[in-house]
Amino acid sequence: MLFQLNTTDGRPIYAQIADQVKNAVAAGLLRPGELIPSVRELSKQLVVNPNTVARAYRDLQGQTILESVRGTGLQVAAGAPLLCRDDRQATVRRRLREALDEARRSNLPRNEIEAILHEEWGRGNGDGGSDTNGTGVVDERG
């Protein structure tokens, strides 16, 4: 797994890391019981302070996405996929609601909004777009 940071995102690095782990779990790239990279490994890969990665991991443990395995490290918790999918769906709903509110304030007719949605969906729907499956994580496993 290769995590990718976006320096123009505006969100803290630890939040980007946590979101990418959750997105990878929701997409099935990380499965329950699977060990995640150690703080040291991931901080080296991303060239960030280990405390930044540790904060992301602590947040994920607090959300019961990750759990500690004595003597081994951190693994994806059994209930994490459902939690992550629910979280991802809630985020998409919130952002769509915000976009629709903006479209309504702009007095765009429904058919134009639907046309925009279909056009944008087609742009990012696996036809030459991202190599990250929309997660921000590159799956190097093949």
pLDDT at 2: 77
How far, in Å, are 58, 112, 129, 133 from residue 117 at the CA level?
A: 36, 9, 17, 19
User: Would you tell me how many other CB atoms lie within 10 Å of the CB of residue 137?
Assistant: 20
pLDDT at site 1: 66
Question: What are the residue boundaries of the structural domains of the chain, listed by start?
Answer: 13-80, 85-121
What class does CATH assign to 13-80? mainly alpha
- Residue 128: what pLDDT? 43
Chain-centre distance of CA 100, in angstroms? 22
pLDDT at 7: 87
The strand pairing partners of 3, in sequence order, are 137
Residues linked to residue 2 through DSSP beta bridges, in sequence order: 138
Q: Give the span between the Cα atoms of 78 and 91, in whole angstroms.
A: 22
Q: Note down pLDDT in tens along the chain; length 142 residues.
A: 678 899 898 999 999 999 999 999 999 999 999 999 999 999 999 999 999 999 999 999 999 999 999 999 999 999 999 999 999 999 999 999 999 999 999 999 999 999 999 999 888 765 444 445 555 555 555 5
pLDDT of residue 138: 53
Task: Give the model's pLDDT for residue 139.
Answer: 54
CB atoms within 10 A of CB 89: 11
What is the enclosing helix (H) or strand (E) of 7?
none
Structure-block tokens of residue 133? 């499956």
